[in-house]
Amino acid sequence: MVRHGLVVLLVMAMSVFTAAAPIEIEFHFVANQSEADAWYTLTDMFNASQDEIVVVPYWDTGEWIGYQERMLVRIAAATPPHIMRLSDEALPVWADAGYLRPLDDWLERDIDLSDYLPITAQLGSHRGVFYGFPQGLATRALAYNRLMFVNAGLSYPSDDWRWDQELLDAARRLSTRDADDLPLTYGIGFHTGGAGNLRKDIPEILWAFGGEVFDAEGNMRLGDDESIEALSFIQSLVYEYRVFPEDFDVVGRFLNGTLAMWNTGVWDVNLLRQTDTLDFDFAPTPGGPAGHFSFIQGNGVYVIPAVVDDEKAAAAWEFMKFLVSAEAQRVFGLEYGIGGVPLVTSLVPEYVAQPSPPDSWDAFVTSVQRGRMVYHPPNADEIFNALNVGWGEMIRGETPVRTWFDAVAPVVRTILERAQQ
């Protein structure tokens, strides 16, 4: 009887121990130092908040492409990350290849999307299927040198500016040259070096004119008249109006006070703050003839690979929910200043009230509210390498935009056709 009782107690103890054993999952991410610090902090917070799941963070210090290739090797070897950071551009490719677990059922069951800014779910979706949440809402706004505007007798940029009207007029008045016709100051700049900027700095200018690089179905739209008009407008800023640096040194000139406006992202705020003599602020990214404004990036998306078993996938979903909670978003976006505008609507007032400079944090919120996501084609890296052929000559005004496009379009179409087979 005593022996039987001991056996029962032992079995009960083993059952309790088994039931209490936490599920361990791996969280893989590529990141810079500050991002990694934030994710380590958030992982510790989550692990301390409950005892059912243990998240082990794995920081990859490499570049996006190499990191994602390593994750694909792990997936093929059936040793996948249980939750990972995936680039915005890779999301449609991985989703079409079946590498990602659809999360629509869990999203509908657990998340009230009215608590989030409207673009949130779109940034983690492809072909109407939800695969994960973005890290934050990264967008651009128009940085401007306040002193240069004051000295020129101009009002600061406002949220109703257009590229081809108010901005162009101000840029012309802010651009000056000496007696030998050499440039002293320029009005406007943004990154144009390399066709890769067609998926970063230039798309929202195309969008403002009614064009774009690719549409939601993956069709190339760069040859549309509206897109050609937008690229021709960029050329004219440099060589007709001479308001854009011919040497394309946008960052250096803005920092040294010889460039009045720079359309850039929230990620450059800390860089601007490091220049003590720079009196800057932000306005929302201008619109254009089509009445369109800014583009929004997720700066990476949290996803769960399809090969992860159900138990660990459910645990990974719990961690993902925490990462996009108000508590975690406050740490990530406000305490560490990473990821752009927080996803959670209730945090927007705190975001706008951050210490200056800039005074106008709300410029980024406005850009998010009236913006849309960038559409990424399959085989994006190969496509943008093809578009890079002759790009320098075109952007320098040596080749008409239509001539450049007609030369590269057949190669891009071949890449797209191969991807769709």
Distances (CA, A) of 385 to 63, 114, 118, 210: 17, 39, 33, 24
Determine the pLDDT at residue 6: 44
Banded pLDDT at 218 (limits 50, 70, 90): confident
> Number of helices and strands (H, E) in the chain?
19, 13
3-state helix, strand, coil in the chain (%, to 5): 50, 15, 35
Which of 393, 381, 398, 375 has the alpha carbon at shortest distance from 222? 375
CA torsion 235-241-243-246 (nearest 10°) is 50
Fill in the DSSP letter of residue 31. -
Instruction: Report the pLDDT value the prediction gives residue 16, as an integer from 0 to 100.
Output: 43
The per-residue pLDDT for 9 is 43
Residue 10: pLDDT above 60?
A: no
Q: What are the residues facing 270 on neighbouring strands?
A: none
Q: What is the pLDDT of residues 94-124, one digit of tens each?
A: 999 999 999 999 999 999 999 999 999 999 9
For tokens 């406007």, the residue is 188
Average pLDDT over every residue of 316-335:
97
Per-residue pLDDT, averaged over 75-81, amounts to 97
**Across 153-170, average pLDDT:** 98
> Of 16-20, 86-90, 201-205, which range is least confident?
16-20
**Single-letter amino acid code for the residue at 229:** E
- Nearest CA among 168, 319, 317, 327 for reference residue 244: 168
**Secondary structure of residue 247 in the 3-state scheme:** coil
Give CA separation, 28 vs 40, 57, 324, in Å: 11, 6, 16
Domains of the chain: 22-137+298-343 (3.40.190.10), 138-296+374-420 (3.40.190.10)
Rounded CA separation 301/95 (Å): 12
Task: Kindly write down the DSSP assignment for every residue of 56-87, as one continuous string.
Answer: EEEEE-S-HHHHHHHHHHHHHTT---SEEEE-
| pLDDT value for 3 | 46
- Confidence label for 19 from pLDDT (cuts 50, 70 and 90): low
d(CA 416, CA 421): 9
User: In the numeric block, which tokens belong to residue 141?
Assistant: 């706004």
385: number of Cβ within 10 Å: 15
DSSP strands (E only) in 33-167: 53-60, 83-86, 125-126, 129-130, 138-145
Asked whether the whole model's pTM tops 0.85, one would answer yes
Return the pLDDT at 20.
65
R_g of the chain computed on alpha carbons: 25
Structure tokens at 346: 């209730």
DSSP string, 140-193: EEEEEEHHHHHHTT-PPP-TT-BIIIIIHHHHHHH-EE-TTS-EEEEEEE---S
Range with the poorest average pLDDT among 140-149, 177-186, 229-238, 293-302: 293-302
Q: Check pLDDT > 50 for residue 11.
A: no
Residue 144 · residue 230 · CB < 8 Å: no
SS3 271: helix
pLDDT at 216: 86
Length of the chain: 421
314 neighbors 104 (Cβ within 8 angstroms): no
